[in-house]
């Protein structure tokens, strides 16, 4: 079964109108993609996730994902090729290098596999080292960890999932992250998924969540940055990228991550045995979770969270309230790096800053105007991290601790305080005594900055 939408797609060899290519002050859509190493639109039309590219107006149409109903189709030669391609993929994928394959020089030895299994036994520990786990699994941390969590939470049995389809889905998800991104890659997705698991274990949640809630949470965590291009939304908007046009400059990346996830869910057939109504509900609710990670909506979600906590009216027997808490949990998981141990947090800080600086290098090269936090000549990791912790992380985790005042919450706040102090020490060494947070955060639009945290 394959879902499609009967939409015309113009030939890809049709020339792009000259007025599009020569618009003043704008980079053409295809060159916008090329700026940060993404496939050109013709390549995107053949990617997994069912993106079709209409060269007449440079607009991407998500064929399978935007279909309102499912259409039965016969097994075509294309589907057969896809199946055969997957069989070849099983033999060559990095994930399966841990299984004995003749004539393979990239097989993980038993010692590495054993260490990875030992780590999974402690997957609920907050000091879980995702970097080490990724090395032990030969770069397949997202597949290995998420499959283990599905099994650990009993989701495979409860939802009668085909384990081969589940592995296929997770492999496709992992491969659709960009490994060349310093930060927004499959390892980050695995880290967020592990953090989400830790939150799902918290007493208030574990006593209230249904298997459905857990299923949505893990899928959303694993796919929340799917196909991230390594640049932010303002970059996509000012370069007139087709995704910005498609989503009308609103939650551009988050909408793309969600739609890409839906495309892979449908292509894998993981939930084909469910009713259409349940599948549509799943896709919609996964979207609600992923869209909540849009940092430009931080203040809105935080204000709602505070209001609920002030009134004391959160009722986790209410499905809507549980869904809202899962949104807040995913937001926490997404930006929890400063709440990890210094050894882990520092690595993440260096990676995300390098991604910022890479975007800034591109903006300088093409005279686009360097975005805040992206100029390696004027910014430092310490300044960026202090600002990030002060304006975004501390307010969110202070409120999460009000909701779930547990040992884990106190541990996260403790690491956050120590890491901020460490970065301030680095900052003082670099600036000779200055202790101010990065002014770039203060210059950002006030509506995306949360209020100061309540520590009482």
| 3-class secondary structure per residue, 147-205 | HHHHHHCCHHHHCCCCHHHHHHHHHHHHHCCCCCCCCCCHHHHHHHHHHHHHHHCCHHH
pLDDT of residue 56: 39
Q: Name the pLDDT band for 330 (thresholds 50, 70, 90).
A: very high
Whole-number percent of the chain with pLDDT over 70: 71
- Examine the pLDDT at 439 and tell me if it is beyond 50: yes
Q: Where are the domains of the chain?
A: 77-334, 339-448
Say how far apart CA 241 and CA 28 lie, in whole Å: 8
Output 188 or 34, whichever has higher pLDDT: 188
CA atoms within 13 A on the CB side of 435: 6
Report the range of poorest mean pLDDT among 108-112, 172-176, 437-441.
Answer: 437-441
In this prediction, residue 434 carries a pLDDT of 53
DSSP string across 273-337:
TS-HHHHHHHHHHHHHHHHTT-GGGHHHHHHHHHHHHHHT---TTSHHHHHHHHHHHHHHHHT-G
Range from 50-54, 239-243, 287-291, 377-381 carrying the lowest mean pLDDT:
50-54
Query: Count of alpha carbons within 13 Å of 58, Cβ hemisphere only?
Result: 22
Q: What is the mean pLDDT of residues 11-28?
A: 39
End-to-end Cα, the chain, rounded Å: 55
Q: Are 66 and 50 in contact (CB under 8 A)?
A: no
Q: Which residues are catalytic?
A: 184
Residue 220 exposed, middle or buried by CB count within 10 Å (0-12, 13-18, 19+): buried
What is the predicted pLDDT for the residue at 368?
A: 96
Contact 132, 112 (CB under 8 A): no
Averaged pLDDT for residues 222-238: 98
pLDDT score, position 431:
84
- Say whether pLDDT at 332 is over 90: yes
pLDDT of residue 432: 74
Give the burial string for 301-328 (b: 16+ CB within 10 Å, else e).
bbeebbebeeeeeeeeeeeeebbbbbbb
Q: Determine the pLDDT at residue 436.
A: 57
Query: Nearest CA to 179 among 227, 243, 219?
Result: 227
pLDDT of 319 above 50: yes
Q: Is 185 annotated as a binding residue?
A: yes
pLDDT value, residue 438: 58
Does 257 carry a binding-site annotation?
no
**Residue 298 assigned to a binding site:** no
Residue 111 marked ligand-binding: no
For 382-437, what is each residue's pLDDT tens digit? 999 999 999 999 999 999 999 999 999 999 999 999 999 999 999 999 987 655 55
* pLDDT tops 70 at residue 240: yes
Q: What is the mean pLDDT of residues 45-62?
A: 39
187 labeled part of a ligand binding site: yes
Report the share of the chain in percent with pLDDT over 90.
69
Average per-residue pLDDT in the chain? 81
Q: Point out the least confidently predicted range of 42-46, 174-178, 410-414, 416-420.
A: 42-46
Dihedral Cα 277, 278, 279, 283, nearest 10 deg: 100
Is 272 labelled a binding residue?
A: no
- Of 167 and 68, which is predicted with more confidence? 167
Looking at residue 35, its pLDDT comes to 55
Higher pLDDT, 118 or 2: 118
Predicted pLDDT at 265: 98
Query: 203 pLDDT exceeds 50?
Result: yes
Mean pLDDT, range 282-293, rounded to an integer: 98
Structure confidence at residue 437 (pLDDT): 56
Q: Tell whether the model's pLDDT for residue 8 goes beyond 70.
A: no
Q: How far is CA 150 from CA 155, 216, 218, 340, in A?
A: 5, 11, 8, 24
Report whether pLDDT(28) > 60: no
Looking at residue 113, what is its pLDDT?
A: 84
> Which position has the higher pLDDT, 158 or 2?
158
The reply, when asked if residue 184 is annotated as ligand binding, is: yes
**What span, in angstroms and rounded, lies between the C-alpha atoms of 244 and 256?**
10
Query: Across the chain, how many H-helices and E-strands are there?
Result: 23, 2
Question: Do residues 336 and 412 touch, judged by C-beta distance below 8 A?
Answer: yes
Give the mean model confidence (pLDDT) for residues 91-98: 45
Query: What tokens were used for 85?
Result: 């391609």
DSSP letter, residue 132: H
For 369, phi then psi, to 5°, come to: 85, 115
224 is in an annotated binding site: yes
Second-level CATH architecture of 77-334: Orthogonal Bundle (1.10)
Judged against a pLDDT cut of 60, whether residue 188 lies above it is answered with yes
Of the pLDDT bands very low, low, confident and very high (cuts 50, 70, 90), residue 189 is very high
- Confidence at residue 53, expressed as pLDDT on a 0 to 100 scale: 34
Give Cβ neighbours of residue 355 (< 8 Å, ≥ 6 apart). Answer: 181, 182, 183, 184, 230
pLDDT category, 220, cuts 50, 70, 90? very high
Over range 34-57, report the average pLDDT: 43
């Amino acid at each position: 079964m394959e879902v499609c939408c009967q939409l015309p797609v113009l030939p890809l060899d049709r020339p792009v109108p000259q007025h599009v290519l020569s618009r003043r002050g704008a980079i053409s859509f295809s060159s916008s993609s090329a700026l940060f190493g993404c496939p050109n639109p013709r390549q995107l039309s053949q990617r997994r996730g069912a993106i079709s590219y209409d060269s007449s107006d440079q607009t991407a149409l998500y064929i399978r994902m935007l279909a309102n109903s499912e259409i039965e189709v016969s097994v075509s030669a294309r589907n057969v090729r896809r199946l055969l391609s997957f069989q070849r993929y099983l033999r060559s994928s990095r994930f399966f290098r841990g299984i004995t394959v003749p004539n393979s020089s990239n097989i993980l030895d038993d010692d590495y596999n054993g260490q990875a299994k030992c780590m999974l036994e402690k997957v609920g520990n907050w000091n879980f080292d995702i970097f080490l786990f990724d090395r032990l699994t030969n770069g397949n941390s997202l597949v290995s960890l998420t499959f283990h969590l599905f099994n650990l939470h009993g989701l495979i049995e409860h939802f009668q999932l085909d384990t081969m389809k589940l592995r296929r889905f997770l492999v496709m998800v992992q491969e659709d992250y960009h490994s060349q991104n310093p930060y927004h890659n499959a390892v980050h997705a695995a880290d967020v998924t592990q953090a989400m698991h830790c939150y799902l274990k918290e007493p208030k949640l574990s006593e209230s969540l249904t298997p459905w809630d857990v299923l949505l949470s893990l899928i959303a965590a694993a796919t929340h940055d799917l196909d991230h291009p390594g640049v932010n939304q303002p970059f996509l908007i000012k370069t007139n990228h087709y995704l910005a046009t498609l989503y009308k400059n609103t939650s551009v990346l988050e909408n793309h991550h969600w739609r890409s996830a839906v495309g892979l869910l449908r292509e894998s057939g993981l939930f084909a045995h469910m009713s259409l109504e349940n599948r549509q509900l799943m896709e919609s609710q996964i979207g609600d979770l992923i869209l909540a990670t849009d940092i430009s909506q931080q203040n809105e979600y935080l204000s709602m969270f505070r209001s609920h906590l002030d009134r004391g009216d959160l009722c986790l027997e209410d499905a809507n309230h549980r869904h809202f808490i899962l949104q807040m949990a995913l937001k926490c998981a997404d930006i929890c790096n400063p709440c990890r141990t210094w050894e882990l947090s520092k690595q993440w800080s260096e990676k995300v800053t390098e991604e910022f600086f890479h975007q800034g290098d591109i903006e300088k090269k093409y005279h686009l105007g360097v975005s805040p936090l992206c100029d390696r000549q004027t910014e430092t990791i310490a300044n960026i991290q202090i600002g990030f912790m002060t304006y975004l992380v501390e307010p969110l985790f202070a409120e999460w601790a009000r909701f779930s005042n547990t040992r884990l919450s106190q541990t996260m706040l403790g690491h956050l305080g120590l890491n901020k102090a460490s970065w301030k020490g680095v900052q003082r060494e670099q600036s000779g005594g200055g202790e101010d947070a990065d002014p770039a955060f203060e210059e950002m639009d006030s509506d995306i900055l949360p209020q100061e945290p309540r520590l009482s």
